[in-house]
């Protein structure tokens, strides 16, 4: 974080300063900010937020032991460290992030990119980071730091030298993206797609679209909206851009796209395509698996070009990305049995894309195995969407469908009803049961997809299978 005095920090977050030892109001603090005491290092700021299972105030002591110079608390604690007492620790994170980004922006060349969408946010921000970090100091989220805590923590990692800040914005209710994006008023906002992810929380896909639109409405006038030309709900957000005097740059397969993809080809070794940037063609070869990642790469490329990066250089850097993120189409195992662990998140659209990728990358002599868990937060569409995935798995002629977890049982029943041969689909209540079955079932030539929402926990099953065949 940038250097601020204790007095400046207290004023910024509207708290009451209690100095300790030799500290005064003029004492400067510039260490990293975190809500996890285990991540605190010398000179850091520990924010003691209340949690669902525990209370951050219980960990001020460990944070001090790790070198914390300041604790932001909702009540004063008996620990040897200066403290700022605030009414709401999470709100104080937002206030501090807003101030720090504004100061860096005013003093330097910082440009801010916001990314949202029902699928692909994390992959896209990582791809964009791979491009921009070779242009200058770049800050981007760890894992999926995209909520009211994670997004401000990312923002607070900027320094006076930072040129690019990439923010990932997720939401499960209206107004959340507006609140987070409003902290930084992005120069560029990327909207990837509107799907059924979190549709239950929003009350339907149209409400999801309205929430994603909040990012476009937060872009600084004169900035750029990077929109998916192939998604009608995203394309409709161009009107919001026009209202703010924001330029629109399009990506997709549509002839109208500024960054257009053609001739997409998927194989076990990667994904290839022809990318046309403002009329100029380029060949791209991604090491990450899946046709859907071409669109994520297009979005990152569109934003990078808007920031002044040479398209050829950006495409070269995208081609060097080996893994979008852990548990996202992560290839594991060995030459005999390949495991594709894609179980960090799952919406109907992402599940369909992963199953089609499995069919595309499995050789004629190989066998496809789909290990599938539940998709979260689909609301009233939960059963119907799981049933559709069961139908798709059978229609793709996947000969072994392993369904795990009671919440995914409609998927299993659908596959059974659609199936044309015995024991095509099997069901297990737990990941341990599925592991025991798969350890004896998998054979040479198998390509195994492990796909579920994060809550289903199958990513750890994927890790176990990858270790088994490493």
DSSP result, 47-95: E--B-SSSBGGGGHHHHHHTT-SEEEESS--SSSSEEEE-S-HHHHHHH
Query: What is the distance, to the nearest Å, from the Cα of residue 273 to the centroid of all Cα atoms in its chain?
Result: 23
pLDDT-flagged residues of the chain (< 50): none
The pLDDT assigned to 199 comes to 53
Tell me the C-alpha distance between 312 and 315, whole Å: 5
What's 119's DSSP letter? S
**Residues 6 or more apart whose Cβ sits within 8 Å of residue 36:** none
| Location of structure tokens 């071409």 | 294
Chain centre to alpha carbon of residue 238: 23
> In this predicted structure, what is the pLDDT of residue 420?
56
According to the model, what pLDDT value does residue 196 have?
Answer: 66
Could you give the CA distance from residue 348 to residue 197 in angstroms, rounded to a whole number? 7
How do beta strands 446-451 and 338-342 pair? Answer: parallel
CA 366 – CA 18 distance, rounded (Å): 66
Give the SS3 label for residue 250: strand
Nearest partner of 102 among 8, 230, 32, judged by Cα? 8
Please report how the helices 311-319 and 292-306 are oriented relative to each other, as an axis angle in degrees rounded to 10.
Answer: 140
Backbone dihedral angles phi then psi of residue 34, each to the nearest 5 degrees: -155, 155
Q: Which two tokens stand for residue 325?
A: 């993120």
* Domain ranges within the chain, ordered by starting residue: 4-87, 92-319, 330-468
445 vs 218: CA distance, rounded Å: 50
pLDDT at 371: 97
Predicted pLDDT at 202: 54
Given a contact cutoff of 8 angstroms between Cβ atoms, the answer to whether 299 and 227 are in contact is no
Structure confidence at residue 142 (pLDDT): 82
Three-class DSSP category at 41: coil
Residue 419: alpha-carbon gap to chain centroid: 34
Residue 434 · residue 404 · CB < 8 Å: yes
Q: What is the pLDDT of residues 47-94, one digit of tens each?
A: 999 887 789 999 999 999 999 999 999 999 999 999 999 999 999 999
Q: Tell me the C-alpha distance between 424 and 413, whole Å.
A: 11
- Report which secondary-structure segment, H or E, holds 266: strand 259-267
Instruction: Give the integer Cα–Cα distance in Å for 377 and 360.
Output: 28
CA angle (113, 223, 131) in 5-degree steps: 35
At residue 448, the pLDDT reads: 96
Please state which CATH number belongs to domain 92-319. 3.40.1190.10
DSSP-derived letter for residue 469 is: T
CATH numeric code, 4-87: 3.40.1390.10
Joined together, the tokens standing for residue 59 give 């960990």
Long-range contacts of 416-421 (CB under 8 A, 24+ apart): 416/390, 417/390, 418/390, 418/391, 418/394, 419/394, 420/394
Q: What CA dihedral angle connects 281, 287, 292 and 297, to 10 degrees?
A: -50
Of 169, 171, 258, nearest to 218 by C-alpha is: 169
Pairing mode of beta strands 425-428, 164-168: unpaired
- The domain defined by 330-468 folds into 3.90.190
What lies within 8 Å, CB to CB, of 24 at 6+ separation is 6
33, two tokens: 């900010």
> Could you give phi then psi for residue 6, rounded to 5 degrees?
-60, -35
């Amino acid at each position: 974080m940038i250097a601020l005095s204790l007095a400046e920090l207290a004023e910024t977050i509207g708290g009451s300063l209690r100095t300790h030892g030799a500290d005064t109001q003029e004492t400067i603090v510039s260490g990293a900010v975190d809500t996890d005491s285990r991540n605190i290092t010398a000179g850091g700021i520990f924010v003691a937020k209340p949690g669902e299972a525990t209370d951050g105030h219980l960990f001020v002591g460990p944070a001090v032991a790790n070198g914390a110079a300041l604790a932001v608390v909702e009540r004063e604690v008996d620990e040897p460290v200066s403290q700022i007492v605030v009414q709401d620790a999470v709100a104080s994170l937002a206030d501090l992030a807003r101030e720090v980004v504004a100061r860096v922006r005013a003093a330097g060349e910082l440009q801010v990119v916001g990314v949202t969408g029902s699928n692909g946010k994390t992959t896209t921000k990582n791809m964009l980071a791979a491009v921009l970090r070779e242009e200058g100091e770049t800050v981007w989220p760890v894992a999926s730091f995209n909520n009211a805590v994670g997004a401000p923590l990312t923002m607070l990692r900027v320094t006076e030298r930072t040129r690019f800040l990439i923010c990932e914005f997720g939401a499960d209710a209206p107004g959340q993206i507006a609140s987070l994006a409003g902290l930084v008023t992005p120069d560029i906002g990327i909207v990837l797609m509107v799907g059924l992810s979190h549709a239950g929380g929003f009350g339907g896909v149209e409400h999801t679209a309205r929430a994603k639109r909040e990012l476009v409405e937060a872009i600084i006038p004169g900035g750029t909206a990077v929109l998916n030309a192939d998604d009608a709900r995203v394309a409709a957000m161009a009107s919001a851009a026009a209202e703010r005097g924001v330029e629109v740059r399009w990506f997709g397969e549509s002839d109208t796209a500024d960054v257009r993809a053609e001739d997409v080809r998927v194989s076990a070794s990667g994904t290839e395509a022809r990318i046309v940037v403002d009329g100029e063609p380029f060949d791209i070869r991604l090491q990450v698996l899946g046709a859907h990642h071409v669109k994520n790469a297009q979005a990152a490329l569109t934003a990078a070009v808007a920031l002044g990066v040479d398209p050829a250089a950006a495409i070269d850097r995208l081609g060097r990305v080996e893994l979008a993120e852990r548990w996202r189409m992560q290839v594991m195992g060995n030459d005999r049995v390949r495991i594709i662990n894609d179980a960090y998140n799952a919406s109907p659209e992402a599940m369909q894309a992963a199953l089609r990728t499995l069919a595309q990358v499995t050789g004629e002599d190989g066998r496809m195995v789909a290990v599938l868990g539940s998709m979260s937060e689909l609301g009233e569409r939960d059963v119907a969407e799981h049933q559709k995935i069961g139908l798709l798995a059978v229609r793709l002629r996947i000969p072994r469908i392993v369904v795990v977890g009671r919440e995914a049982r409609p998927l299993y029943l659908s596959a059974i009803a659609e199936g044309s041969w015995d024991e095509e689909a099997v069901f297990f209540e737990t990941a341990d049961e599925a592991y025991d079955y798969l350890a004896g079932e998998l054979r040479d030539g198998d390509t195994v997809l492990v796909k579920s929402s994060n809550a289903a926990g199958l990513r750890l099953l994927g890790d176990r299978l990858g270790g088994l065949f490493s």
